[in-house]
């Protein structure tokens, strides 16, 4: 037993003294990782193209502690023992970057003020957050680095994506859900969307609402949200002014699924579609206009 023990020690010493063929690439890995950690730590205000929009760095002190924890996690390169007894070896690749968001989900806060929403998003008890909050007067509060995962989408899906939080940015608009959105607030949203779409190459069709991804639970950003205006500016889709006639064999449910809607609750999916694209008739009635509108978006 002693001989076996000493043999293991000698092997460990020999291994530690041997030349590491990956020493050069490990240095590159460390440099790139440190650069990414700096990116994650960035909290500087970013000017938007719309001069009326103001970014306010209003991060709670807990953000720093949580972020440091994730930065440490990023750097961990420990070996680990697999269930079959094999010890994994660490060799850092030099080809990597941060995962970027591919969707933007728009919400309304369903609260009465920006301050109330900020309190909600800086309390550990609530377990909810968003990357941005836009107040009624157009101010923009950036609450979480864009590369990090906020808790805004909840149990939701779009197409085959079932973890929307992991692939999206969440934008909350200060609005109680029963009032129109102010022009200055929408102007700031358009400015922010311009920046985010450019920064992350987000497709126009991937800018959607909370009600789209959670049709059985959510109705935000409400019937008052100007989806047509957003589409005219390149954010989101909108049906043709003159609706095409859907062919007689058009499968409406399949069309909704291809657009992205979860149709397990078919009625809820129809209502969510109409909340977004036919805002004057929000119900689950599948009339000719609704079918043709679904077909119009399906073709896009």
Catalytic residues: 172
Burial class, 97, CB count within 10 angstroms (exposed 0-12 / middle 13-18 / buried 19+): exposed
Overall size of the chain counted in residues: 300
Residue 199 near residue 209 (C-beta atoms within 8 A): no
Helix (H) or strand (E) holding 117: helix 114-121
208 beta partners: 105
Angle, helix 266-277 to helix 288-299, in steps of 10 degrees: 80
How far is the C-alpha of 263 from the C-alpha of 266, rounded, in Å? 5
* Closest among 202, 239, 250 to 104, alpha carbons compared: 202
What is the 3 state secondary structure string of 49-92? CCCCCEEECCCCHHHHHHHHHHHHHHHCCCCCECCCCCECCCCC
Distance CA 111, CA 137 (A): 15
């Amino acid at each position: 037993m002693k001989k076996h023990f000493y043999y293991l020690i000698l092997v460990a010493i020999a291994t530690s003294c041997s030349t590491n063929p990956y020493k050069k690439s490990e240095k590159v890995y460390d440099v790139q990782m440190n650069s990414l950690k700096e990116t994650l730590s960035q909290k500087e205000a970013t000017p938007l193209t719309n001069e009326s929009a103001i970014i306010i760095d209003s991060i709670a002190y807990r953000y720093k502690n949580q972020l440091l924890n994730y930065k440490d996690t990023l750097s961990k390169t420990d070996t680990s023992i697999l269930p079959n007894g094999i010890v994994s070896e660490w060799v850092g690749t030099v080809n990597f970057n941060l995962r970027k968001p591919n969707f933007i989900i728009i919400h309304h806060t369903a609260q009465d003020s920006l301050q109330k929403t900020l309190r909600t998003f800086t309390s550990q008890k609530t377990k909810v957050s968003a990357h941005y909050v836009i107040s009624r007067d157009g101010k923009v509060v950036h609450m979480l680095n864009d590369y990090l995962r906020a808790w805004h989408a909840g149990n939701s899906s779009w197409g085959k994506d079932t973890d929307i939080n992991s692939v999206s940015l969440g934008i909350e608009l200060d609005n109680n859900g029963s009032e129109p959105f102010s022009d200055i607030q929408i102007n700031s949203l358009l400015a922010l969307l311009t920046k985010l779409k450019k920064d992350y190459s987000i497709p126009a069709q991937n800018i959607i609402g909370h009600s789209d991804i959670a049709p059985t639970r959510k109705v935000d950003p409400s019937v008052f949200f100007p989806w047509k205006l957003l589409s005219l500016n390149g954010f989101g889709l909108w049906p043709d002014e003159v609706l095409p006639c859907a062919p007689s064999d058009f499968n409406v449910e399949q069309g909704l699924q291809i657009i992205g809607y979860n149709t397990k609750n078919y009625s809820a999916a129809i209502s969510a579609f109409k909340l977004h694209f036919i805002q004057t008739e929000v119900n689950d009635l599948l009339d000719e206009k609704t079918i043709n509108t679904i077909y119009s978006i399906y073709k896009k």
